[in-house]
Structure 1
């Protein structure tokens, strides 16, 4: 996993208008294949004070900002706690990855408590999230022939398979390739992408090989979902309800 400038990013999150329960790095840095010119995807949860929730003037459920800082493009998105928890209770792999990202910029006791409920939010239905994301990225690769969507495709498939088999979120493609005996051409493509965010595929596996490999790992994900012992529905809703109420009342 490529290092990021955590001290510099802490300065960024300190400038945010609401209390942050956590801020982590997602995207290509988390997935293990950032490029020299990759932006930094900061994701987190802010906590709206009670008077911006129960009154007539509601605070922002989502805050988004994209800007350049010291030559690096930053993409910051935070959700209010209630919205984030609602997303967490859906089969949404993105928010699970953000919550559990090891690239932590800011944390808190509330972050640790929320992460402790993550296992109770994971279900067999998360396979649909990863299949859908892989399909979208595969179509994008078919249009632009860039390494980025190709790597995103296989990252989604392997993350989904690993989740169905183990109940554990692992987002780093290099780790997944090794643990799942993934496609042998991926390490070379990961290394190639380091040179640029929008490089096209040159050489490497043929279109036929890529298609066959995509179909193979898509079938693996379907099979992993069918065999998975994960529950159909999340079990953590009561605990998360109490968690949201308690934090809101102390905001």
Structure 2
């Protein structure tokens, strides 16, 4: 896909081989501001000698700052740590694997995309409920309230409801709203896209958004209770085999 070309050099400069690097954050969610930073997420592979020796390599590599005008936040996890996170109720890492905004890929990344469905359980609802609660608290306590955390609240809740109902990960708020049809979202998304990253709401109807938040929380809880998704992940054995293949291959 076409992406910010300056991202590639940071991928190329990574100290370890990468299984993949994808774009997350506001760009993935469908509401980047002109001054939004790029959230780059991925998986690196530590060499065997940095895994089995007394001195081990970093499970997580982070890089953030402004580079030639590009504001970047890059985080990668070693393959073992990332695969372990995939087997927990962590929707965030599944969104990274399945992000269509791909900077670097590999056959192992393609395999991870195939295995992601076997990592989804009905208990991923707890991830989205907790994430939404944190974002709502952030939105409600700020004065004046900002557009970004409010959009994160809606994005997280709609992603969670959609996942419970369909078993599919969808992180783009605009595409989600094609089925949810919440009339307040197009204007909020447009304001975020056209305005600054820390843009505020001129006249935030907190009462209205509070009702919508409570309603969608209840809808996600109901979707969780009614979900036919499995209780546990089924992809553990396949992920273990892929980990061995990647590490020693």
User: TM-score band, normalised by the shorter chain?
Assistant: over 0.9
Which of 41, 44, 68 is equivalent to 1:43? 41
Whether the 8 Å CA contact 2:19–2:44 is kept in 1: the answer is yes
Name the residue aligned to 2:224.
225
Q: Where has structure 1 moved over 6 Å in runs of 4 or more?
A: none
Any gaps of 5 or more consecutive residues in structure 2? none
Name the residue aligned to 1:248.
247
Q: Distance in 1 between the 2:120 and 2:3 partners? A: 30
Q: How many residues align?
A: 246
* Shift of residue 116, structure 1, vs aligned partner: 1.0
Q: Distance in 1 between the 2:180 and 2:96 partners? A: 22
* Shift of residue 4, structure 1, vs aligned partner: 6.7
* Shift of residue 203, structure 1, vs aligned partner: 2.4
Q: How does 1:150-229 map to 2 (within 5 A)?
A: 150-181=150-181, 183-194=182-193, 195-203=195-203, 206-229=205-228
Name the residue aligned to 1:142.
140
CA deviation vs aligned residue, 1:189-225 (integer Å, no higher than 9, x gap) = 1111121111111125x22111111111111101111
Q: Distance in 1 between the 2:3 and 2:107 partners? A: 23
* Shift of residue 8, structure 1, vs aligned partner: 2.2
CA deviation vs aligned residue, 1:75-121 (integer Å, no higher than 9, x gap) = 00000000000000000011000000000000000100111110000
Which of 78, 88, 91 is equivalent to 1:90? 88
Q: Distance in 2 between the 1:224 and 1:35 partners? A: 32
Instruction: Tell which deviates more after alignment, 79-88 or 239-248.
Output: 239-248
Whether the 8 Å CA contact 2:164–2:223 is kept in 1: the answer is yes
Q: Distance in 2 between the 1:50 and 1:59 partners? A: 10
CA deviation vs aligned residue, 1:138-185 (integer Å, no higher than 9, x gap) = 00001111111100001000000000011110000011111222x211
Any gaps of 5 or more consecutive residues in structure 1? none
CA deviation vs aligned residue, 1:17-49 (integer Å, no higher than 9, x gap) = 100000000000000011111000000000001
Whether the 8 Å CA contact 2:3–2:101 is kept in 1: the answer is no
Whether the 8 Å CA contact 2:3–2:103 is kept in 1: the answer is no
Give the TM-score, by structure 1 length. 0.95
CA RMSD of aligned residues (A): 1.2
Give the TM-score, by structure 2 length. 0.96
Q: Distance in 1 between the 2:5 and 2:137 partners? A: 37
Where 1:231 maps in the other structure, the secondary structure is coil
Whether the 8 Å CA contact 2:61–2:76 is kept in 1: the answer is yes
